[in-house]
């Protein structure tokens, strides 16, 4: 959250209220929070290809509040980065509300991560362990609501499901009663990783809610997104790995078009994206359009100039 950005980042498109988008009756296409990846440059790219709403990577609220260095490294935005949701890992209502107040002028809302299954997050009391602690979620939501003056500032949660779905429905009902703006449901349990997504469970949760619900899990194309939207009856779909592999998928492309690759190059260079992140995104984007030998060569490149030379030589643009 660098000062030179702050002066220019009060979002001019607050009229693009996510809540209004969810009530439009149209599929709302959402870029998921992805650690290391869903930063400003990537959000800028997917917005060019029909993404409606973007999340930041998960940020640990305690570090964000206590450390200027953490704020500078974890949160960067600009005027075109709207609508935007900042996702926090938190288990303390006061720290979360302090973090929300810091980002409030620069985002449309915050999201509480109640779905991350990684051991370190759960050991710290963050992420998916919160689906079993509805009282902590309630306290955090209430505190943010009390401390942030903007009534349009959203407070959402992202969850996984329980083995016993009645517990998940109960959690969601309690969250709705507390004032949560919407709920994103990843249709797997904490223990599940690559098993099929339980879309029927998401449908049942949606049927028990009055607030918007977003479906998440294993969506790799616009056709799949539309199918999940219809199957679950939800208000939007959230995509992570599918967008990493093809940032243009929401615009209907089956694989990453060359124009998208060069858009990424332009955006990343303009925004000063670190080389490792710049290169890693290209590796994901080019997965389907390169041979095994080409991957070996491209993945071994070690500088921006080498990447630009490779792209120019192989794709003639």
Structure token pair of residue 218: 């294993």
Spatial distance between the Cα atoms of 42 and 273, rounded to a whole number of angstroms: 10
Lowest mean pLDDT among 66-70, 150-154, 270-274: 66-70
- The model's pLDDT over 274-294, given as tens digits with 9 standing for 90+, comes to 999 999 999 999 999 899 999
Q: Active-site residue among 54, 104, 114, 116?
A: 116
Q: What is the pLDDT of residues 234-250, one digit of tens each?
A: 999 999 999 999 999 99
**pLDDT, position 1:** 55
6 has pLDDT over 80? no
b/e burial code for range 211-249 (CB count within 10 A of at least 16 → b)? bbbbbbbbbebbeebeebbeebebbbbbbbebbbbbbbb
Using the predicted structure, report yes or no on whether residue 34 has a pLDDT greater than 50.
yes
Average pLDDT over residues 207-213: 98
Residue 118 has pLDDT above 60, yes or no: yes
Angstrom distance (rounded) from CA 141 to CA 155: 7
Q: What is the dihedral of CA 91, 102, 21, 243, to 10 degrees?
A: -70
DSSP three-state, residue 81: coil
Cα 85 from Cα 182, distance rounded (Å) = 12
If you write DSSP's letter for every residue of 42-76 in order, what string do you get? HHHHHHTTT--EEEPPPEEHHHHHH-HHHHHHH--
Mean pLDDT for 64-68 is 94
* Cβ–Cβ < 8 Å for 241, 219: no
The residues near 50 (Cβ < 8 Å, ≥ 6 apart) are 29, 250, 251, 252
Q: How many CB atoms lie within 10 A of CB 252?
A: 11
Give the helix/strand (H/E) hosting 239. Answer: strand 236-239
Q: Which of 279, 185, 198 is nearest to 235 (CA)?
A: 185
Q: Which residues contact 74 (CB under 8 A, 6 or more apart)?
A: 1, 56, 57, 59, 63, 64
> Whole-prediction pTM value?
0.94
Closest listed residue to residue 241, CA positions, set 31, 69, 64: 31
For the chain, domains (ranges, CATH) are 18-251 (3.20.20.70), 258-315 (no CATH)
Question: Which helix H or strand E contains 204, and what residues bound it?
Answer: helix 199-207
Which pLDDT band holds residue 3 (cuts at 50, 70, 90)?
Answer: very low
DSSP 8-state symbol, 144: H
C-alpha radius of gyration, the chain, whole number: 19
- At residue 193, the pLDDT reads 86
Band of the pLDDT at 260, cuts 50, 70, 90? Answer: very high
Distance between CA atoms of residues 171 and 32, nearest Å: 22
Q: Which pLDDT score is estimated for 316?
A: 76
Annotated binding site: 33-35, 87, 186, 240-241
Assess whether pLDDT exceeds 90 at residue 9.
no
Mean pLDDT of the residues in the chain: 94
37 and 283 Cβ atoms separated by less than 8 Å:
no
Q: How confident is the model at residue 7 (pLDDT cuts 50, 70, 90)?
A: very low
Q: Which residue has the higher pLDDT, 3 or 191?
A: 191
pLDDT digits (tens, 9 = 90+) for 129-139: 999 999 999 99
Which tokens sit at 237?
């779909």
Token code pair at residue 248: 């243009």
Asked if 20 contacts 95 with a C-beta cutoff of 8 angstroms, the reply is no
Q: Is 82 a catalytic residue?
A: no
Is the peptide bond prior to 83 cis by the omega test (within 30 degrees of 0)?
yes
In the numeric block, the tokens 């294993």 are attached to 218
Place of tokens 């500078």: 72
pLDDT attached to residue 30: 98
pLDDT (0 to 100) of residue 11:
53
Question: Is 165's pLDDT higher than 50?
Answer: yes
Distance, CA of 171 to CA of 60 (rounded, Å): 23
Span 101-109, mean pLDDT?
A: 97
pLDDT bin (cut points 50, 70, 90) of residue 4 is very low
* Binding-site positions for FMN: 33-35, 87, 186, 240-241
């Amino acid at each position: 959250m660098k000062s030179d950005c702050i002066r220019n980042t009060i979002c001019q498109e607050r009229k693009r209220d996510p809540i209004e988008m969810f009530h439009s009756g149209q599929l709302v296409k959402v870029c998921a929070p992805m650690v290391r990846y869903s930063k400003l440059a990537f959000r800028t790219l997917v917005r060019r290809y029909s993404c409606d709403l973007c999340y930041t990577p998960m940020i640990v609220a305690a570090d964000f509040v206590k450390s200027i260095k953490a704020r500078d490294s974890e949160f960067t935005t600009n005027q075109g980065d709207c609508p935007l949701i900042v996702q926090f890992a938190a288990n303390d209502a006061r720290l979360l509300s302090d973090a929300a107040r810091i980002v409030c002028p620069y985002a449309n809302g915050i999201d509480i991560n109640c779905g991350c299954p990684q051991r370190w997050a759960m050991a710290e009391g963050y992420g998916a362990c919160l689906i079993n602690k509805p009282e902590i979620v309630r306290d955090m939501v209430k505190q943010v609501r009390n401390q942030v003056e903007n009534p349009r500032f959203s407070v959402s949660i992202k969850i996984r499901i329980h083995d016993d779905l009645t517990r998940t429905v109960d959690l969601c009902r309690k969250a709705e009663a507390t004032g949560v703006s919407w709920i994103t449901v990843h249709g797997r349990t904490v223990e599940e990783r690559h098993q099929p997504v339980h879309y029927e469970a998401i449908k049942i949760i949606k049927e028990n809610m009055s607030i918007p619900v977003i479906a998440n899990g294993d969506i790799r194309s616009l056709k799949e997104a539309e199918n999940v939207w219809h199957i679950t009856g939800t208000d939007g779909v959230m995509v992570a790995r599918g967008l990493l592999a093809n940032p243009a998928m929401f615009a209907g492309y089956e694989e990453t078009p060359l124009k998208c690759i060069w858009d990424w190059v332009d955006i990343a260079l303009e925004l000063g994206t670190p080389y490792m992140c710049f290169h890693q995104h290209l590796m994901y984007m080019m997965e389907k359009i390169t041979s095994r030998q080409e991957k070996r060569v491209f993945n071994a490149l070690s500088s921006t100039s080498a990447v630009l030379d490779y792209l120019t030589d192989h794709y003639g643009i």
